[in-house]
């Protein structure tokens, strides 16, 4: 709305040609952004810098209003009302939950990438409340639950009761290769080693975590550089890279080795 007022000021101030061209550019960028992001906050956010250019001109609006006649003031008022109706019509004419769910999904993914497990879990929960069938959000829910005890600054040992509870939660969802690998970790901790290794073997081509668990439990003894390339960009790829560099016969007991031993330690 401020940008609309600033556009009017620029036109009144003799910048009609440049203002129209800039407005066309803004609308074009919005259309492209909306198409790529399927609407939602991501499309609107891309416009903020350009809208700010127009909005800065609104400071001159009181001066124009003070010198305007009745007819001009009526036009400004009608324009403001129409613009406000256009800006806020979506809140009354359509269901916004679809956009909210998409925004929550983006926030959950972003926070997971930054290692903010609590925030990722919060946004995933909000997204699932709107759309319980979202596999990605179900996956993030399981991964954040796993990360909280497994890869924090201080690793936590899991008692049998907690491992059983987490296993049950992981089994309740449709699951992905990563969540199935996490599910197998809980089985391994509960002394169901054969089931766990069978799952990791089945998922090793899709999950870096499955390959990591097979390697760390001794089911496989070698991982090549070409193997690593296949997992680039997937969850726990960096942890897999760190694991194969560890010399387990060395006297030094590093943080990564402690972390991996804790992940696969038996529950009591």
Domains identified in the chain, total number: 2
pLDDT in tens, 63-89: 888 888 888 889 889 988 988 887 787
Domain boundary among 93, 112, 129: 93
Shared domain check, 256 and 175 = yes
Question: Poorest-confidence range of 96-105, 135-144, 226-235?
Answer: 96-105
Mean pLDDT across 7-35: 73
Determine, yes or no, domain membership for 117.
no
- Cα four-point dihedral sign 209, 212, 218, 221: positive
Determine, yes or no, domain membership for 122.
no
What is the spatial distance between Cα 130 and Cα 137, in angstroms, rounded to a whole number? 11
**Residue 157: per-residue pLDDT:** 84
Q: State percent of the chain over pLDDT 70.
A: 88
Q: Rounded mean pLDDT of the chain?
A: 85
Determine, yes or no, domain membership for 130.
no
Q: Are 15 and 65 in contact (CB under 8 A)?
A: no
Shared domain check, 169 and 82 = no
**Residue 40: per-residue pLDDT:** 61
Element (H, E) at 222: none
pLDDT at 17 over 70: no
- Give the number of other Cβ atoms within 10 Å of residue 111's Cβ: 20
Shared domain check, 158 and 82 = no
Q: Are 267 and 158 in contact (CB under 8 A)?
A: yes
pLDDT at 133 over 90: no
The tally of CA atoms less than 13 A away on the side-chain side of residue 194 is 0
pLDDT at 180 over 70: yes
Shared domain check, 229 and 160 = yes
Q: Are 166 and 202 in contact (CB under 8 A)?
A: no
Domain extent at residue 241: 153-263
Domain boundary among 74, 93, 112: 93
Shared domain check, 184 and 86 = no
What is the spatial distance between Cα 146 and Cα 108, in angstroms, rounded to a whole number? 15
Shared domain check, 259 and 162 = yes
Determine, yes or no, domain membership for 110.
no
**Residue 226: per-residue pLDDT:** 82
Q: Are 182 and 143 in contact (CB under 8 A)?
A: yes
**Residue 203: per-residue pLDDT:** 95
Q: Are 167 and 141 in contact (CB under 8 A)?
A: no
Q: How confident is the model at residue 131 (pLDDT cuts 50, 70, 90)?
A: confident
Determine, yes or no, domain membership for 66.
yes
40: left (phi over 0), alpha (psi -120 to 50) or beta: left
Shared domain check, 253 and 160 = yes
Shared domain check, 244 and 171 = yes
**Residue 64: per-residue pLDDT:** 82
What is the spatial distance between Cα 218 and Cα 192, in angstroms, rounded to a whole number? 16
Q: Which pair of structure tokens corresponds to residue 195?
A: 């089931």
Q: How confident is the model at residue 125 (pLDDT cuts 50, 70, 90)?
A: very high
Spell out the residues 6+ positions from residue 26 whose beta carbon is closer than 8 angstroms to its own. 47, 50, 51, 54
pLDDT in tens, 213-265: 999 999 998 888 888 888 988 899 999 999 999 988 888 888 899 999 999 99
**Residue 207: per-residue pLDDT:** 94
Mean pLDDT across 91-101: 66
Domain boundary among 93, 108, 142: 93
What is the spatial distance between Cα 222 and Cα 244, in angstroms, rounded to a whole number? 8
pLDDT in tens, 150-177: 986 666 788 999 999 999 999 988 889 9
**Residue 236: per-residue pLDDT:** 93
Determine, yes or no, domain membership for 173.
yes
Q: Which pair of structure tokens corresponds to residue 228?
A: 């690593």
Shared domain check, 162 and 81 = no
**Residue 152: per-residue pLDDT:** 66
Shared domain check, 256 and 160 = yes
Spell out the residues 6+ positions from residue 120 whose beta carbon is closer than 8 angstroms to its own. 108, 109, 111, 112, 140, 144
**Residue 90: per-residue pLDDT:** 65
**Residue 33: per-residue pLDDT:** 67
Determine, yes or no, domain membership for 257.
yes
Q: Output the CA–CA distances (angstroms, integers) from residue 18 to 37, 54, 55, in the order listed.
A: 28, 11, 15
Determine, yes or no, domain membership for 41.
yes
């Amino acid at each position: 709305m401020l940008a609309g007022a600033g556009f009017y000021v620029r036109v009144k101030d003799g910048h009609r040609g440049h203002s129209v061209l800039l407005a066309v550019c803004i609308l074009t960028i919005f259309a492209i952004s909306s198409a790529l992001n399927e609407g939602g906050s991501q499309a609107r956010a891309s416009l903020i810098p350009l809208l700010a250019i127009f909005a800065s001109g609104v400071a001159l609006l009181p001066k124009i209003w003070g010198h305007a006649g009745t007819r001009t003031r009526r036009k400004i008022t009608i324009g403001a009302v129409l613009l406000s109706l256009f800006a806020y019509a979506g809140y009354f004419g359509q269901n916004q939950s679809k956009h909210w769910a998409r925004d929550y999904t983006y926030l959950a993914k972003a926070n997971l990438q930054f290692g903010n497990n609590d925030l990722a879990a919060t946004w995933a929960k909000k997204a699932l409340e709107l759309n319980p069938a979202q596999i990605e959000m179900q996956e993030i829910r399981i991964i954040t639950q796993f990360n909280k005890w497994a890869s924090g600054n201080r690793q936590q040992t899991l008692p049998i009761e907690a491992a059983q509870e987490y296993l049950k939660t992981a089994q309740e969802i449709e699951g992905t290769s990563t969540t199935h690998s996490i599910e197998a970790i809980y089985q391994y901790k509960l002394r169901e080693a054969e089931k766990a290794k069978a799952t990791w073997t089945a998922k090793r081509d899709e999950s870096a975590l499955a390959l990591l668990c097979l390697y760390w439990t001794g089911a496989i003894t070698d991982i090549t550089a070409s193997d690593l390339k296949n997992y680039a960009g997937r969850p726990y790829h960096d942890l897999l890279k760190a694991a194969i560099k560890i010399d387990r016969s060395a006297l030094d007991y590093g943080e990564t080795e402690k972390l991996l031993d804790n992940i696969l330690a038996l529950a009591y």
